[in-house]
């Protein structure tokens, strides 16, 4: 049995988890060597310790957390060598409950990995972005598991291709170069997330490059070194066309603008049909230059102007927000300009 196989399995899993990351595409938020901030906070509280950034996790804590929350939870000590690795890595990557369901179906290495891969392939958009990395991880775990069980395997030659889910300096350098050309890479953090995937797809399309969409091949670097800055290709879009295309933020801003415009019109119309005319109220604005105490008297009698002014101010703010959103859409500038700190990295 695999009662002493924890360290070996953990070292293999950590190879796929990487170091520290805090990427907007990662729903887990700040993550250090596969441990999220939420997991670390829970573990620290359970062990009567104060919370602190997951980036400060100690090696002893990392070992204990992985053993308690994943290895022991999957009862990996009772599994055969190789099967324990499959179960442990699947629990870390996809959750303990889901990994337990796969284990209940089969403890055969190939059957377990195939079940895991089929689940990942059914994740739709996430698979289209991160599928290459997930497939590589599952196949790598399958090979290592067979080696642990004493079976020989044919090792696939290592590929230098970059794909979603990868982290490191090579990804960081690619982000810098693509962003310098105007492609939307998000923050320069060395994490190949969904933003980088979209940027690579755009670069492939603009330069007629062959290959799987979103996968960066070594052969692309020659084209990258000689590429021209990307020009905005959607400058003709307006707030109206974006709303028609189903852009929700723009639709909400347009709706709010119409609401405040109706309130403005209604307040003016109501005042016009009452005793004081709109013209008289506008003439009353001259009292603002009178002694300060008279301003309050004027405001008391011209409340509609306060409502109208507030509506006009809100409409101007909405139009500014909408303009910035449209401009970001036109320029593919989803994350804003790179900071000086990012450029220096």
Q: What percent of the chain has pLDDT over 70?
A: 71
Residue-averaged pLDDT of the chain: 78
Output the CA torsion 206→207→209→215 (10° steps). -60
Average pLDDT in the 19-34 region?
A: 69
How does pLDDT run across 263-283, given as a tens digit for each residue?
Answer: 777 766 666 555 454 445 545
| Confidence grade of residue 91 (pLDDT, cut at 50, 70, 90) | very high
Q: How confident is the model at residue 336, as a pLDDT?
A: 39
Say whether pLDDT at 1 is over 80: no
Give the separation between CA 191 and CA 181, rounded to whole angstroms.
Answer: 18
Query: Does the pLDDT at position 289 exceed 50?
Result: no
Q: Which residues contact 42 (CB under 8 A, 6 or more apart)?
A: none
Q: Is the pLDDT of residue 341 over 80?
A: no
Q: Which of 11-20, 138-147, 281-290, 320-329 has the highest mean pLDDT?
A: 138-147
Residues 5-21 pLDDT 10s: 999 999 999 888 767 77
Distances (CA, A) of 150 to 146, 147, 230, 289, 313: 6, 5, 52, 93, 73
pLDDT value of residue 117:
95
Q: In the structure, what pLDDT confidence band is assigned to residue 338 with cuts at 50, 70 and 90?
A: very low
Q: Which of 147-156, 238-247, 284-293, 317-326 has the lowest mean pLDDT?
A: 284-293
Domains of the chain as residue ranges with CATH: 6-148 (1.20.141.10), 169-231 (1.10.101), 239-331 (no CATH)
pLDDT bin (cut points 50, 70, 90) of residue 344 is very low
pTM above 0.85, yes or no: no
Residues 99, 23 contacting (CB under 8 angstroms): no
Q: Quick one: pLDDT band at residue 295, thresholds 50, 70, 90?
A: low
Confidence grade of residue 334 (pLDDT, cut at 50, 70, 90)? very low
Per-residue pLDDT band for 80 (boundaries 50, 70, 90) equals: very high
Residue 299 structure tokens:
């405001």
Chain segment 220-257, per-residue pLDDT in tens = 999 999 888 876 555 556 777 767 766 667 777 778 77
Question: 196-216, pLDDT tens digit by residue?
Answer: 888 888 898 888 888 878 889
The pLDDT of residue 299 is 57
How many angstroms separate the most distant Cα atoms in the chain? 96
Residue 317 has pLDDT above 60, yes or no: yes
Structure tokens at 141: 């775990």
How large is the C-alpha radius of gyration of the chain?
A: 29
């Amino acid at each position: 049995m695999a009662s002493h196989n924890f360290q070996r399995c953990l070292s293999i899993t950590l190879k796929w988890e990487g170091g520290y990351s805090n990427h907007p595409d990662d729903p887990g938020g700040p993550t250090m060597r596969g441990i999220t901030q939420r997991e670390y906070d829970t573990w620290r509280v359970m062990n009567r310790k104060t919370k602190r950034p997951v980036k400060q996790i100690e090696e002893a804590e990392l070992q204990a957390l992985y053993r308690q929350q994943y290895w022991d939870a999957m009862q990996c000590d009772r599994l055969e060598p190789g099967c324990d690795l499959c179960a442990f890595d699947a629990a870390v990557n996809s959750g303990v409950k889901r990994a337990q369901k796969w284990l209940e179906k089969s403890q055969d290495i190939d059957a377990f990995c195939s079940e895991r891969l089929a689940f990942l392939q059914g994740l739709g958009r996430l698979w289209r972005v991160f599928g290459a990395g997930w497939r590589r991880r599952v196949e790598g775990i399958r090979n290592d598991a067979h080696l642990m069980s004493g079976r020989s395997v044919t090792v696939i030659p290592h590929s230098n291709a970059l794909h979603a889910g990868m982290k490191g300096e090579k990804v960081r350098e690619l982000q810098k170069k693509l962003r310098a050309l105007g492609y939307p890479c998000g923050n320069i953090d060395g994490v190949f997330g969904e933003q980088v995937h979209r940027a690579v797809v755009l670069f492939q399309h603009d330069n007629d490059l062959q290959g799987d969409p979103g996968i960066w091949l070594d052969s692309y670097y020659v084209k990258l070194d000689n590429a021209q800055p990307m020009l905005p290709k959607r400058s003709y879009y307006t707030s109206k066309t974006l709303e028609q295309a189903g852009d929700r933020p723009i639709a909400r801003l347009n709706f709010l603008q119409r609401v405040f415009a109706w309130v403005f019109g209604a307040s003016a119309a109501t005042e016009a049909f009452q005793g004081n005319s709109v013209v008289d109220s506008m003439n009353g604005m001259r009292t603002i230059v009178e002694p300060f105490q008279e301003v309050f008297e004027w405001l008391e009698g011209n409340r509609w102007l306060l409502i109208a002014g507030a509506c006009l101010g809100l409409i101007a703010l909405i139009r500014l927000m909408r303009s910035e959103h449209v401009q970001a859409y036109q320029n593919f500038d989803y994350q804003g300009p790179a900071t000086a700190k990012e450029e220096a990295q």
